[in-house]
Chain A
Amino acid sequence: MIALEERSQTTLEGDSAPIIEVRGVYKQYVRTTYRPSLRHEALSLLRRLIRKQTVAQPFYALQDVSFSVARGESVAIVGRNGSGKTTLIKLLSGIMRPTKGSLRVRGRYASLIGLQAGFIGELSGRKNIYLNAAFHGVMPRQIEPYVEDIIEFAELRPFIDTPVKHYSSGMSARLGFSIAIHVLPEIIFLDEVLAVGDAAFQQKCIAHMLKLRAEGRTIVFVSHDSSAVRLLCERALWLHKGRLRMDGESDLVLEEYEYFMQHQPPDSQ
Chain B
Amino acid sequence: MAISLAQRASEPVTLSLNVLRLLQYAANVAILIGAHLIAVQVRLRLTWGNPLGAEYEAQPPLFFLIIAVAQALAYLLASWAARTPLRRWLTPRSQFRLLILGIGLTVLGTLWLLPDLSQLQLVYFGVAAAVVGVGGIVFPARINPQQDSGIFFMHLQRLWQNRALLGLWLRYNIQTRYSQTVLGIFWIVLLPLAMSGVLALAFTQFLRISYDVPFIVFFLAGLVVWQLFSSGIFGGMNAILSKIGLINQVNFPREIAVLLVIGEGLVDFCFTFLAFVVVNALNGIYPSATWLYLPPLLFVLICFTLGLMFFLSSLSLMIRDIPQLFAVIMQLLFYLTPILYPVQNVPEQFRFIFIINPLGLIVQAFRDVTVYGRAPDALSLYYPLVAALTLLYMGYAYFKANESRLADFT
A94–B7 CA distance with the chains assembled, in angstroms: 9
Q: How many residues of A contact B (CB 8 A)?
A: 48
Chain A residues with CB below 8 A from B404, complex form: 96-97
Decide: A135 near B164, CB < 8 A? Known: A36-B319, A96-B408, A108-B6.
no
Binds A, one of B200-208, B249-257, B385-393: B249-257
The answer to whether A107 and B4 have CB atoms under 8 Å apart is yes
In the complex, whether A113 has a CB less than 8 A from a CB of chain B is yes
In the complex, whether A29 has a CB less than 8 A from a CB of chain B is yes
The answer to whether B245 and A122 have CB atoms under 8 Å apart is no
In the complex, whether B182 has a CB less than 8 A from a CB of chain A is no
What string of 1s and 0s marks CB contacts (under 8 Å) between A118-154 and chain B? 1010110001001110111111101000000000000
Decide: A116 near B7, CB < 8 A? Known: A123-B172, A139-B164.
no
In the complex, whether B9 has a CB less than 8 A from a CB of chain A is yes
In the complex, whether B247 has a CB less than 8 A from a CB of chain A is yes
In the complex, whether A177 has a CB less than 8 A from a CB of chain B is no
Q: How many residues of B contact A (CB 8 A)?
A: 36
Cβ-neighbour of A95 out of B164, B248, B321 (below 8 A): B248
A11–B7 CA distance with the chains assembled, in angstroms: 14
CB-nearest residue of chain B relative to A40?
A: B319
In the complex, whether B66 has a CB less than 8 A from a CB of chain A is no
In the complex, whether A239 has a CB less than 8 A from a CB of chain B is no
The answer to whether A118 and B249 have CB atoms under 8 Å apart is yes
The answer to whether B407 and A11 have CB atoms under 8 Å apart is no
In the complex, whether B331 has a CB less than 8 A from a CB of chain A is no
In the complex, whether A227 has a CB less than 8 A from a CB of chain B is no
Contacts A37-B320, A41-B319 known; 13 new A-B pairs at CB < 8 A: A94-B7, A94-B10, A95-B407, A96-B408, A107-B4, A108-B3, A114-B248, A120-B172, A131-B165, A134-B164, A135-B165, A135-B252, A137-B6
CB-defined A-B contacts under 8 Å, sample of 18: A11-B4, A35-B320, A37-B319, A95-B250, A95-B407, A103-B10, A104-B10, A106-B11, A111-B250, A111-B251, A114-B245, A114-B249, A131-B169, A132-B250, A134-B165, A137-B3, A139-B1, A142-B1
- By Cβ-Cβ distance, the 10 closest A-B pairs, closest first, are A137-B6, A97-B404, A118-B250, A134-B165, A38-B321, A94-B251, A118-B249, A135-B250, A96-B407, A114-B249
Instruction: Tell me the B residues contacting A by CB distance below 8 Å.
Output: 1, 3-4, 6-11, 161-162, 164-165, 168-169, 172, 176, 245-252, 318-322, 325, 404-405, 407-409
